[in-house]
Amino acid sequence: MLDLASGMDRIIIILLLESGLDLECLINLRVSDLDLGSGLLHVAANRTIQLSSGALNEIKQFLKSRPGQVYLLEGRCAKPITSKWKRCVLENLLAKSE
């Protein structure tokens, strides 16, 4: 499924796999929750996730094309994407991979 995804969809799959977060939590992440220097993702006051160097590099490349973005997975009007929309995209990718 990862090989079929690109852009934001690829970032979502990578983060789902590496973080174990559910989609609802993932879509509310802000760019400021990421420490790009250390590769840490701060998801709660007492929870931090170390991202792999591969995931970190992909996220950095993704964010380069989206300067000034507030939410990591930002849709239109500087608001986070909706879980319904992303579930549809993920279901389509899953169907293609079968």
Sign (positive/negative) of CA torsion 32, 34, 36, 40? positive
Report pLDDT digits (tens) over 2-31.
666 667 778 888 888 888 888 778 888 899
Q: Where are the domains of the chain?
A: 2-97
H/E stretch holding 11 = helix 7-19
| CA gap 67, 89 in Å, rounded | 24
pTM equals 0.72
Give the number of other Cβ atoms within 10 Å of residue 72's Cβ: 25
- CATH class given for the domain over 2-97: mainly alpha
| CA gap 90, 53 in Å, rounded | 24
Report pLDDT digits (tens) over 29-77.
899 999 999 999 998 778 899 999 999 999 999 999 888 888 888 766 6
